[in-house]
Chains A and B, each alone.
Chain A
């Protein structure tokens, strides 16, 4: 799959923002006034920034409001609803904390729930696709949720939570890679089933439909950078989990925490790039590519 920068940026930062909102909604840390304002500003910057970035890959962003109509069937539509509900309830909850020094707990819990649901619905957009066997696994939502919560804990300054969640994220990530590498073969889709022409090995792509490239090849048969996959995986795990955990184990200071966040974001971006770049769409079979 083509790793569009807008979608990589969107999934990483909205995950981070909604992860932080989940913690804030549950009153972790229990802050009010200007401190609360700072936490909420960071959370909204990440969450809303990510959502705005996601509209950059739309052909017609001016029609984006229509995406709220199909929540009964579409995960993308449900994601829109969850994000809006989470952002509105958390704004009311945040206003209570910042301006009135009050903790309206019910809004916080609802906001936290919908923040988590936003991350979950985002992950389901990818998980639901049977055409991309690497993503079509319960490990995909587990990965998105653990990344979001780990980043949220990191930003919320919850050292114990962060260290635990970062370790869990790393384990889920490695499992997703391990399972994903065999997912296309396990899906049973081959050039033989795609064409109905005999057994595997007996059929071979001879000539593509056009001499030039096309939308399908650009979008679905992205193979650049796969040869560096192992190196990038190691870089992602080291930046996303190992360095932040080591830094958090050291005595706390804001600079060290900032360094941990920067390292985490770098690792998450690398991992998300791989998430798209390594994903094989079954349509590639028709072109003898994967």
Chain B
């Protein structure tokens, strides 16, 4: 059914820490790798080595420049470069699900994951039109809609070692910028992180109620706060001899005379 469930038992999703992400794109590559080799149709590339390469990705990393507003009586804050991974947010009120004419798109009652049943997908593209986040992409070879599955074939997979039972993007992130867990449980790692750091929704005005949360970047440190506030090691770096003496003193004087 393409109607949305009233509520889901669990709300599995991701916390993405914009303060920590270094923009290495490792999550993009591991996602493409896992989802090409496992659940559903592979993620194709077209003209991969030609002049117009293009491909299907379930996770893409944008980079944005942010200039924090100048506050009165304060020096202009530094501009920041924010790397911004973007994938399906597994919205509670997912508009992509209700527009589907065939029932191929659905949101699971047990864990809230939004999935596509590829054998029912007619490739009309309407769900991608309905998604504000660009989380759905039509595969140009298979002609079916592809989207993040939250690695549903990893997280419950008992053939994998326990530490691998999380989405490929989370498992691979070298900076620890991605966290996976259950938002329905207020004591879960993701709920706590989101509460502590002010986890935010993307485009809240669209009314999609995203499950995934983004942690805002912290303000950059500044060196100019309070004159004289220098490093605690600074005293050890002060010059020990102001005037040259001995042989060097004689050399200095002699060279001056020349």
Contact = CB atoms under 8 A, between A and B. Distances in A.
Interface string B37-61: 0000000000000001111110011
Interface residues of B, number: 64
A226 interface: no
A209 B60 contact: yes
A206 B65 CA distance: 6
B131 A283 contact: yes
Nearest to B85: A209
A281 interface: yes
B133 A283 contact: yes
A171 to B, nearest CB: 28
Given A67-B102, A214-B137, A215-B138, A59 B128 contact: no
A188 interface: yes
Candidate in A203, A204, A215 with the most chain B CB atoms within 10 angstroms? A215
B69 A193 contact: no
A66 B122 contact: yes
Interface stretch (B5-13, B151-159, B201-209, B229-237): B201-209
Interface string B188-219: 00000000000011111111000000101100
A189 B132 contact: yes
A205 B64 contact: yes
B121 interface: yes
A286 B66 contact: no
A63 B117 CA distance: 13
A187 B203 CA distance: 11
Contacts of B81: 206
A199 B132 contact: no
A203 to B, nearest CB: 5
A74 B120 contact: no
A212 B60 CA distance: 13
B200 A72 contact: no
Interface stretch (B92-100, B166-174, B177-185): B92-100
Contacts of A80: 101
Nearest to A220: B134
B19 to A, nearest CB: 11
A106 to B, nearest CB: 30
A94 B131 CA distance: 42
Contact of A128 (B99, B102, B123, B128): B99
A194 interface: yes
B120 A208 contact: no
B150 interface: no
B67 interface: yes
A216 B68 contact: no
B125 A282 contact: no
Report, as a range, how many residues of chain A touch the other chain.
35 or more
A55 B232 CA distance: 72
A253 interface: no
A66 B122 CA distance: 8
Interface in A114-133: 125, 128-132
Contact of A197 (B53, B54, B66): B66
B167 to A, nearest CB: 18
B2 A74 contact: yes
Given A60-B123, A195-B64, A187 B54 contact: no
B171 to A, nearest CB: 20
B56 to A, nearest CB: 7
B122 A60 contact: yes
Contacts of B201: 196
A66 B103 CA distance: 8
A196 B65 contact: no
Given A70-B102, A202-B68, A213-B52, A193 B204 contact: yes
Given A60-B144, A72-B3, A196-B216, A210 B125 contact: no
Contacts of A63: 102, 120-122
A127 B30 CA distance: 37
Contacts of B120: 63, 66
Candidate in A57, A72, A74, A202 with the most chain B CB atoms within 10 angstroms? A74
A216 B66 CA distance: 24
Interface string A39-62: 000000000000000000111110
Given A57-B125, A197-B82, A76 B144 contact: no
18 contacts: A59-B122, A60-B121, A66-B122, A69-B101, A70-B101, A72-B1, A73-B1, A74-B101, A131-B131, A187-B205, A191-B64, A193-B202, A196-B201, A197-B18, A207-B62, A219-B125, A219-B129, A283-B134
6 smallest A-B Cβ distances: which pairs? A59-B123, A59-B143, A209-B60, A283-B134, A76-B101, A67-B101
Given A73-B98, A193-B205, A215-B138, 14 more contacts: A63-B102, A64-B122, A70-B100, A75-B99, A189-B205, A194-B203, A195-B84, A202-B68, A203-B66, A214-B60, A214-B137, A215-B54, A215-B56, A282-B206
